[in-house]
Amino acid sequence: MTDPKIICMGEPMVEFNQTDDTGRYLFGHGGDTSNTAIAAARAGASVGFFSALGADEFGDSFMRLWAENGVDASRIIRRDDAHTGVYFVSHGESGHVFSYLRKGSAASRVRPDDLPRAYIEQADILHLSGISMAISPEACDAALAAIDIARAAGTKVSFDTNLRLKLWPLERARALTDAAMRKADIALPGLEDAEQLVGIGDPDAIADHYLGLGAGIVALTLGKAGCLVATGSERRRVPGIVVDAVDATGAGDTFDGNFLAELHRHGDPFEAARYANAAAALSTCGYGAVTPMPMREKVLEALKAAA
């Protein structure tokens, strides 16, 4: 396999997703940037993933998953002194709720010295998220160091806010998210995250904030309303498609992966957002983060039907 052109970095986590109110949980895989890598690969992109896993069956299952989806995992670190992270998803009237077993995970122990420098330097895009930074001080240092390696090499940096206040206090999240966004070329915030991180609710003002920090492209996801895409010279609201949604666990990550794959394919952020909106909507039609993520053919069919 040739070196991948989109590199994602963060914490992969085994997922147990509640399927009904009888206490049954479906085994699966999650972790936002791993999800993004798989989504991008299913969209046809050349993708790799960097992180650390425990030397356990859960870690083995991720290695199989990435291989099955064409995601290069040749730089993954395996540790026998740390476990692979786990989370549970339950569903209620207020939406999905996450519970985590991740303290001391292998991914949280990644340090700057562990980074595959040449792997990052040869890529066209490096993608990280707020979670990539929030899981530990060591992981935060590694994420910021990876961003610096990418920028020095001309690799574009993509960053999703993906705010999880169970992992770090809001003030720290604000400071470090803005620090990462100042070095990002592609900003992928979600509206709810941005309302807390930026302190404003107007989508255009949020886009202006991230453009002002230095991003060349901002794609602000708006849930069912689609997304707002802004560059220094143009902005548009890009609507989504209507589906019968049952679980939005992986929708944001599916958007990110498909947006980056399409942007890398042709360079048009507005068309990339149209495609990514459809992929994200389709991903809500099944349970779990990874299983419902659509292949490229399904997304093209949905866009054609919606036209």
Q: How far apart are CA 114 and CA 9, in angstroms?
A: 12
- CA distances 95 to 24, 63, 91, 246, Å, are 17, 30, 6, 10
Please report which helix (H) or strand (E) contains residue 159, including its range. Answer: strand 156-160
The CA-based angle 234-125-212, given to 5 degrees, is: 40
Between CA 200 and CA 205, with CA 204 as vertex, the angle to 5 degrees is 40
Q: What is the pLDDT along the chain (307 residues), one digit of tens a residue?
A: 579 999 999 999 998 888 777 778 888 898 999 999 999 999 999 999 999 999 999 999 999 999 999 999 999 999 999 999 998 878 777 777 878 888 999 999 999 999 999 999 999 999 999 999 999 999 999 999 999 999 999 999 999 999 999 899 999 999 999 999 999 999 999 999 999 999 999 999 999 999 999 999 999 999 889 999 999 999 999 998 889 888 787 899 999 999 999 999 999 999 999 999 999 999 999 887 888 999 999 999 999 998 7
Instruction: Judge if pTM exceeds 0.75.
Output: yes
pLDDT one-digit tens code per residue, 76-134: 999 999 999 998 878 777 777 878 888 999 999 999 999 999 999 999 999 999 999 99
Q: Are the C-beta atoms of 155 and 186 separated by less than 8 Å?
A: no
Of the candidates 73, 129, 139, the residue with the CA atom closest to the CA atom of residue 104:
139
How crowded is the C-beta side of 84, counted as CA atoms within 13 Å?
Answer: 22
Q: What HEC string does 25-86 produce?
A: EEEEEECHHHHHHHHHHHCCCCEEEECEEECCHHHHHHHHHHHHCCEECCCCEEECCCCCEE
Instruction: Please tell me the total number of residues recorded for the chain in this structure.
Output: 307
